[in-house]
Amino acid sequence: MGEGNREKILSVKDVARLKCCSPESILNDIQKKNLKATFFHGSWHIRERDCKSYIEQEAQDHISITSASMKSGVSELIIKRAIKTGKIKPVENTRGQKIYYSSFLDWQKESFFKIPKR
């Protein structure tokens, strides 16, 4: 196998930088088996393809209130009211931000795009 064909190996710090979170958060996900990694010579090593898959999965599972508002066309105020009444449940991410599962879009469709029965 030639040198150009080798897959890039990332450190925990590299992955944390890419994901914009702390290295401790990445280590936690490795321990939970949410991120595939190999412990070798005293540190964790993550394949670039595993990192990409991990970050893509995280992006699919969660949506921020601002992103939800922009994607759905529903104002942040209405979304916040739905959160306050318990119709949407937030989860706090590693940076202390409130995030919402992509099921928000299902709530949004149910609440705002009801088709009248004939």
Strand partners, 9: 47
How far apart are alpha carbons 26 and 43 in whole angstroms?
Answer: 13
Q: 42-65 pLDDT, tens per residue?
A: 999 999 999 988 877 766 656 667
More confident residue, 31 or 59: 31
Q: Is 3-59 in CATH node 1.20.120?
A: no
In total, the chain counts a number of residues equal to 118
Q: 11-27 pLDDT, tens per residue?
A: 999 998 887 778 998 99
pLDDT of residue 115: 44
Same fold, 3-59 and 61-112: yes
Angle between helices 65-72 and 104-112 (to 10 degrees): 40
Helix count and strand count (H, E) for the chain: 6, 6
Coil, strand, or helix at residue 12? helix
More confident residue, 86 or 30: 30
CATH topology of domain 61-112: Multidrug-efflux Transporter Regulator; Chain: A; Domain 2 (1.10.1660)
Domain ranges of the chain: 3-59, 61-112
Residue 76's H or E segment, with its range, is: helix 76-84
